[in-house]
Each structure stands twice: as structure tokens, then as C-alpha cells.
Amino acid sequence: MKHCLLLFIFFCLTKIASAQLGNLSGKVTDHNQKPVSGATVELKELNRKTMTDDNGNYEIRSMVYGSYTLNISSIVTEFKSMKIKIAGSSERINISVKDRSHRELDQVTVQGKTEKRKIETSGFSVNVIDTKEASLRNLQTNELLNRTVGVRVRQSGGLGSSATYNLNGMSGRAIGVFIDGIEISTYGSSFNLNNIPPALIERIEVYKGVLPAHLAGDFLGGGINVILKKGGMRNNLIASASYGSFNTQQTDLSGTYRDPKTGLTLRGSGFYSYSDNDYEVRGKFVRNELPNGQMVETRGKRFNDAYKSYGSRFELGYTDVKWADNLMLNYNISDTYDEVQHGQYMSRPYMGRFSKSKAQVFGVDYRKNNLLLEGLNFTFNGVYSDREQYIQDTVSYRYNWNGEKVIGIRGIPLRTLTGAQQGAPTMNTISRQIATLRASLSYNIAANHKVVFNHMFYVVDRQDSDELRTVLERNYLSTSDLTKNVSALSYEMEAFDHRLRTNLFAKYYQQKIDRMDPVQQVVNGQPTRVERVTSDNRNTTGYGLAVSYSLKPNFVLIGSAEKAVRMPGEQEIFGNQSDNVMANPSIKPEISDNLNLGFRAGAYQFDAHSISISGSGFIRNTQDKIVALSSDRSVTNMETTNNVNLSGVRSIGFEAELNYIYRKLNVVLNMSKFNALLQDKASLFDGKQIPNEPFFTANGNVQYRFNNALQKKSVLNVFYNFGYVHPFETIWQLKRDEFNVTPTQFIQDLGASYRFPNQKMVLSFDAKNIFDKEAYDNFAAQKPGRAFYLKFTYNINNF
């Protein structure tokens, strides 16, 4: 199967389309001859869209000669439709449109709005996060996600600390995280949402529950797809540097160059982040130990939590040439150093435990619309990555929150019982080689009917090596390879004058694990190491439907349903000797029925007021949930764990978002509340909320803009943000014990950004957690208190 696919891809890459093609460009102006920016220009027959730039210019490339309908729409102008004809290689058509009202042009919201709206009304339960504003401010990508409705980022500390994502009550392996549609694990832990600055991101799509076919993978709870900046058609260079509390330094640089004659395109970006993360922690979990074992509450600065990360990405290729809309070769390199301050709980601070990871990733992207025949679009991504992760933990002294050695009852420093800070001493290197290939072919069967076929192939090969293990143990550790194939076929239809959009899809999951267990056998009278290979092959199917219906132009109903699948992982099937996890070869995939129903209304205009509202409800019904069970009465009294299928969990909830704009004021409020209830008739907790998951959160952002504030033509934006997390229980309990409940969290931030009159420089200042409230994320793991950051961004366009 995969060989056929590769052959096909090769065939496609070498074939060059032979039809005559022309380019269309022009300028959109209003009745005052002023350019209209952000207007959508659409070639109706080809379903191809573009947006006008700040000067009103648009460009659509590589169209077959012929007659077309051109539609121009914008929030500030009246809709216009016109017939055009492409007969030459470069047609220029300027368009004049009527103003809708006398609103100022600068009130039109940001670029990318139409792409955002297009995705958000595609039928899937999806939010699109625009990173344009955030890229100029002192915001991390994870912070931006955390402010999104229904998304909870659970991070155990400051900058760089490991993060997990919770989408409306689903988390862990149920959530897929992608970069440009490729699973993020391919890039390794040194290139993740912790260190990719918003400046390098075009937008983030957050799918809840139902994933569209092109994001193929076995995920139950949805996914986060990060679209990296492609730089557009213009040459540009953006550089920024920021400095703030806890010695936090971040810089990034990105640039694009395109030769208009040949289409040769060069892009490069790089980042560097560093933080001491030495913020103060306090509260009931921060205690120092006296020599007689008594515990006293204390305050302490984190002392083993520094984080350093740098990386860069280079791309070289051709854009908008006859034989490719996009052909880019890319190379990523990244490196991270991360100190670990504590384990799951803050009870005991660590000294000297750290991890280092590095990754080199090679990739190729190819995209060609109207390949061979009109309406046949082809894309291909291939990524190969070589990742290495090293964990070291060799310090055997115990430390307290003052960063000093703990003195024991005999007056001498105490050593840990295990010989290291967290478990046994380790100097472990894990190497992984991962290849991901993804190809997509779509064909417009007729106007408004499209079929898309997607295939994803994933293979990972992993080796572990711990310097501190004996050669004997290392010789007999098992190794395994994992191969995944996910095929998806979807059918997209638009009807009733684009008011109804449907997307019907089916997915086929196949997973194969080869595991090599070395065993000792007597061969010719000699005990010999023999490699025993076992293989596990399994497959399953899922399917779904996404529908959106536009009752009125500004009122859209959205619904989606899917039977989603998560295949059991390598450790869940084969176990892991070193962690005493037993094998369970008969474990079944986890299946979830996901249902979403919602609406998007607006924007409604009342004079200068504009309001848009969206809301949705959801049900997720998970069966055969995979959980780890401990069995501590086996023959040798060794505590062991194995993974089994349990009855399920049902999540029911809703989320809502309100956006209000009045002249220069922009307010966004959102909230999400759900019940994730255990479905297990045999359990006392049947029908009770799953603990350790925040289930009620709310966020608010207020932004106000001052034009010409200090200097003429300058822009000053001020921001206010709050985040609320309702207290939640951290373990199963029949009676509420406040010790096992996180406190109410209400964190407020302030910020301002100033754009200088030359439009090239932006200076921004952020004060986070201004009232220095205790903020927790993972249970009892405290996040930074009050902190200040300053950032400078320099931007050059069209050089």
C-alpha cells in the first residue's frame, strides 16, 4: 500500500500540467478611490479565494483560460459580483466597490478573518486563534491556547515546563497536537508549543471532539493544529526581543524572500528562549522538613527550574510556479535544556535533575491545485525526524525549599532513599527515528461537490540506553517499532446557494507493532542471547459527519458527529519490564462517540456597536476506556500494573463566546462548563465527576486602541485579561475534603503595545498576575506570581 502511494507521489511530482494558465491581479477601491484592505476576492467556479492586502491589491495565480465569476465581499463594503475573462498570461482587473456605511476603514478587524470564519463555519466544532496580536506581545503560545474557550493547558510550572492539553474534558493521548497537520511528536520535545513563539505561527485551529479527515490520527477528544507562517507573497523580515521577570529572555527572527520572476522562495526563522523560572512558591504544599520529621510551611524560590531552548527552521523552494503552487524543502533543528524542580507534587524539591533534547527534522511540502485536470488538487508532506532525549538524575542529597540540603535527625545531610531525586539514578538516552508521510488528493466532481482522499503513514523506531544500568540489563531490554496507517475518505458538499455545507467522512486505522524481546536460550550447549520477535497487527474504522447551515448570512447552525478511535499504545499492549507494567495483548481500542451542536451568530451591527455570539453543546461517550490497574498480589509480591479496558466516561457540556466591538473597544468573553461523568454501574462513583480535571472555566479579554496617542500615526493598544478556574476535586471522594480541592483561581493581567508611526516598530509591556494570586495548574504545582515583561518587535515589509 505505502509503496503504491510513494510511486503515485513520485509520478505526480514529475508530471507537469500542460493546460494554458494565466494569472489575475488588480486593486479593490471604494468610491473615494481609497484601497479596501481585507476584502475577499473569490473565483466562484474554481472556489478559489484570496484577500486584498493593505493597499487593496489581490492576486490569483495559475488559472486555466476561460470565463469566470468574480465575487468581492468585505465587512465594510457592499457585495459585488462580476463576470471576467482570462485570456492572457497576466490579466489585471481593478474593481471599485460601494461603501456599506460611513464606518472608518481602520475599524475592520484583522487580516485572516475570512479564513478564520471559513474554518469556524465548516461544520466542525472548531476555534481559530489568530496570533497576529499575540505575536507583538509577551505571550506564549500556551497562554494563548489557555484563553481559548473550552481549552485548558495544564502546565506544572513556568516557561518550558511540560504541558498537557484538555479539550472539554478529554486529555492526554486522546488529544492530537499537529504542526501544519503533522503530529508534533515527530518534531521532538525540543520543538513544541512551549517554544514556538506566536510570531512564527499564522493561526491555531482547535478542533473539539470531531477531527476533520485531513488531520488523520487516532484521537478521541479532538486536536490542536498549528499553522506556521508562510510569509505570504511579500518579502518581509520580523525580529523581536523580550526581557522580563525571572530573567526570562526571548528572541525570534523570521524572514521571507521571493523572487517574483522564478518563484524561488526562501524562508528562515529562529528563536531563543531562556528563563531561570526562579519565582516564589508558597502555600500549604510548600513545606520544609525539620530534623525530627516535622513539617513547617515556608516560602521559597524555585532553584532548579531553568529552561533554555533554541531552534531554527529553513525552507527553500518554489511558490506559484507552473508546476507547483508550493514546493518547499524544509529543515528544522532545535535544542532544549530543561531543569526539573519537582515531581507530580511540590512536596519535595529536586536538585540537579534535568533533561536535554534535540531534534533534526527534514521535510518536503508539495501542493498543486488543478493538477492534470481542473479541480484535482494534490498535497503531500513528508517528514523525517531524528530525535534524542537525555535525562539525568544523579544527585542523592535531599534539598529543601531554601535550596539547602535537608538535615536529618542525626544532624547530617539526608540522602534520598532511591539514590536520586526521582526514583533510581539515571543517565538515560532515548533515541527515536520517526517518519511521517501524508498525502491528500481532492477532486471537485461538480460545482459544490468535492471528494477528498487522505493517507497518513507513521513509523517510529525507539532505542533506550541507560548508562547506569548494567550491561546485562541493557542487553536484555526489549525494543519496538510502531507503524501506523490512517486512511480517510471524505465527501464535501455545498447546497442551497452555499447555505448548507456538509462533510461526510470515514477513517480506517491500522497499527502494527513489532517488538523484539531478547531471551536466553541454550544453543549447542551454550546459553545464548536469542532475539524473539512478536508482532501485533490490528485495525478498526471510524466515521463521522459535519454539517453547517446558514439560516441567515450572519446566523449559522453547526453540527458534527463522529465515532472516533484511539488505538492502544505500545506500552499498553506489550508492557514495560522496567516499570513493572505487564503485557495485555488482548486490549481493545478505545472508542468514543462525539456529538457537537452549536451556532455562530453575528456580527450584528447597531450603529457603531458590533456583537457576535457563538455557543455549542457537546456529548462525548467513551467506551472501553484504557486504564492502568495495579495488581499487587502476584506470585512474588512485586507490585505490577497492567492496562485494561474499563467501562466509559460521558462528558456533557457547553461553551459560549461573546465578542463585542464598539469603535476602538474590543471585548471577548468566553466560558466553558461540562460534566465528565464516570459510566460504571459497578462503581460507587457511577455518574460522578472525574476528579483532577477543571470543569468550569471562564476568560475575558478587553482591548482598547488609541490612535495618534503620543505621536501622529502611532497606535497604542491596552489590554486587560482575566482567567477564572473553578475549584475542582483532585481525587475521588464521597465527602468533600477541602484539602483535596484546588483553590479558586482568578488571575488578571494587564498589557499595552505601542506601534511607532513608521509602522515598523512595536514596543509592548505586559504585567501578568497583577494581584500576585496563587495560581495552580497541575494539582498543587504552583505557577508564577506577579511578573513583568517588555518586548520590542521590528518589522520590515516589501524590501
Partner 1 sequence: MKKQFLKLLMFGAFATAVTVTGCSKDSETTTPEENLGDANRWITVSGALMGTTPGDGNGGTMVYSVSVTDAKNPDKSISVYDNGFPVRSQRTARLQSSIDGSTLFNIAYTGPNGGEFSKYKVNGGASYTELADKVNISSYATASPRWVKLFDNDQTGIAVNVSNVKITTEANGTTYRYARGTSTVLSLNLQAAGIKTYEQYEIPLSTAEEAQGFYIGRLDAPVLNKAGDKLIIGASKSKYNPATGLTDNTGAVKIGAKSVIVDYPSLKNPKLINSTVSQGNTNGYRSFNAFLGEDGNIYQATQNGTAGSHILKINQSNEYDNSYVFSLDAALGVTGTYVEAWRYAGNGIGYAVYSVADKGGYIARLDLNARTATKVAIPDDADLSFNQYQGFVVNGDEVFVAVTPVGKDGNIYIMNSRTGTLTKGAKLVNKAGNHYIGVF
Nearer to partner 1, 185 or 341 (CB): 341
Give the nearest distance from C-beta 634 to partner 1 in angstroms.
6
- Whose CA is closest to 519, among 479, 481, 476? 476
Least distance from partner 1 to the Cβ atom of residue 62, Å? 57
3 state DSSP class of 736: coil
Q: Which is nearer to partner 1, 43 or 587 (CB)?
A: 587
Q: CA–CA distance from 706 to each of 137, 296, 719 (Å)? A: 17, 50, 12
Contact set for partner 1, span 346-385 (CB under 8 A): 346-348
Interaction of residue 646 with partner 1, rule CB under 8 A: yes
Tell me: cis bond preceding 603? Omega within 30 of 0 counts: yes
Nearest to partner 1 of 525, 527 (CB atom): 527
Residue 143 C-beta: closest distance to partner 1, Å = 26
Q: Is the dihedral of CA 735, 738, 741, 745 positive or negative?
A: positive
Task: Tell me the β-bridge partners of 600.
Answer: 556, 614
User: Out of 526, 734, 771, 798, which residue is the one contacting partner 1 (CB under 8 A)?
Assistant: 734
Of 310, 242, 273, the C-alpha closest to 762 is 242
Residue whose entry in the numeric block shows the C-alpha cell 513547617: 296
Q: Shortest distance, CB of residue 734 to partner 1, whole angstroms?
A: 6
Nearer to partner 1, 148 or 426 (CB): 426
Q: Are 366 and 326 in contact (CB under 8 A)?
A: yes
Residue closer to partner 1 (CB basis): 88 or 291 = 291
Minimum distance between the CB of residue 521 and partner 1, rounded to whole angstroms? 9
Among 11, 606, 739, 799, binds partner 1 (CB under 8 A): 739
Residue at 35: amino acid letter? P
69-98 residues in contact with partner 1 (CB under 8 A) are: none
- Grid coordinates belonging to 525: 550447549
Our CB check for partner 1 shows the closer of 542 and 575 to be: 575
CA nearest to 458, candidates 93, 78, 154, 184? 184
Smallest separation (angstroms) from partner 1 to the CB of 458: 29
CB nearer partner 1, residue 87 or residue 409 = 409
Question: Taking contact as CB under 8 A, which single stretch among the options 212-220, 354-362, 515-523, 694-702 is the one that binds partner 1?
Answer: 515-523
Q: Which residues between 388 and 447 bind partner 1 (CB under 8 A)?
A: 398, 406, 408-409, 414, 416-419, 424
Q: Between 269 and 308, how does the x/- string for binding to partner 1 read (CB under 8 A)?
A: ----------------x---x--xxxx-------------
Which single residue is written with the C-alpha cell 475521588?
732
All three cell numbers of 766: 505586559
Half-sphere exposure of 90 (CA within 13 A, CB side): 1
CB 721 within 8 A of CB 699: yes
Among candidate residues 6, 56, 68, the one with its CA nearest the CA of residue 28: 56
For position 583 contacting partner 1 by CB under 8 A, the verdict is no
What is the spatial distance between Cα 357 and Cα 337, in angstroms, rounded to a whole number?
Answer: 7
Whichever of 471 and 533 has its CB closer to partner 1, that residue is: 471
Q: Cβ of residue 285: shortest distance to partner 1, in angstroms?
A: 6
The 471-490 site mask, x for binding partner 1 (CB under 8 A), equals: xxx-xx--------------
8 A C-beta contact, residue 744 and residue 765: no
Length reported for the chain: 799
Within 586-645, the residues that bind partner 1 by CB under 8 A are 627, 629-630, 633-638, 640
DSSP secondary-structure letter at 574? H
CA–CA distances in Å: residue 63 to residues 59, 321, 605: 11, 12, 37
Nearer of residues 150 and 575 to partner 1, judged by Cβ? 575
Please tell me whether residue 692 binds partner 1 under the rule CB under 8 A.
Answer: no
Residue number, 334 or 428, with CB nearest to partner 1: 428
3 sits near partner 1 (criterion: CB under 8 A):
no
Cβ proximity to partner 1: between 81 and 521 the closer is 521
Q: How far is the CB of 723 from partner 1 (least distance, A)?
A: 24
Query: Residue 709, SS3?
Result: coil
Place of cell 529562529: 270
**690 DSSP 8-state letter:** P
* Cβ 590 to partner 1 shortest distance, Å: 15
313-340 b/e with 16+ CB inside 10 Å = b?
bebebbbbbebbbbbbebebbbbbbbbb
Report the Cα 237 to chain-centroid distance in Å.
25
Give the residue with the Cβ less far from partner 1, 419 or 700: 419
Helix, strand, coil share (%) of the chain residues, nearest 5: 10, 55, 35
Check binding of 519 to partner 1 (CB under 8 A): yes
For the bound state, the minimum distance from the C-beta of residue 406 to partner 1, rounded and expressed in Å, comes to 6
SS3 13: helix
Per-residue contact flags (x/-) with partner 1 for residues 231 to 270, judged by CB under 8 A:
----------------------------------------
- Of 440, 779, 789, 795, the residue at the interface with partner 1 (CB under 8 A) is 779
What's the min distance (Å) between Cβ of 342 and partner 1? 11
Bridge partners (DSSP) of residue 459 are 435, 483
User: Is residue 304 within 8 Å of residue 351, measured between CB atoms?
Assistant: yes
744's torsion region: left (phi>0), alpha (psi -120 to 50) or beta?
Answer: beta
Using the minimum distance from each CB to partner 1, give the nearer residue, 510 or 689.
689
Binding segment for partner 1 among 131-139, 365-373, 468-476, 545-553 (CB under 8 A)?
468-476
Shortest separation between residue 338's beta carbon and partner 1, angstroms: 23
**Residue 561 CA: distances (Å) to CA of 227, 502, 595:** 25, 12, 4
Q: How many residues bind partner 1 (CB under 8 A)?
A: 59
Smallest gap from Cβ 641 to partner 1, in A, equals 11
Is 345 among the residues that bind partner 1 (CB under 8 A)? yes
DSSP 88-118: SSEEE--EE--BSSS--GGGSPPTTHHHHHH
The reply on whether position 533 binds partner 1 by CB under 8 A is: no
Q: Which residue in 90, 539, 683, 759 binds partner 1 (CB under 8 A)? A: 683
Backbone angles phi, psi at 13, to 5 degrees: -65, -35
Site of interaction with partner 1 (CB under 8 A): 285, 289, 292-295, 345-348, 398, 406, 408-409, 414, 416-419, 424, 470-473, 475-476, 518-520, 527, 577, 580, 627, 629-630, 633-638, 640, 646, 681-686, 731-735, 737, 739-740, 779-780
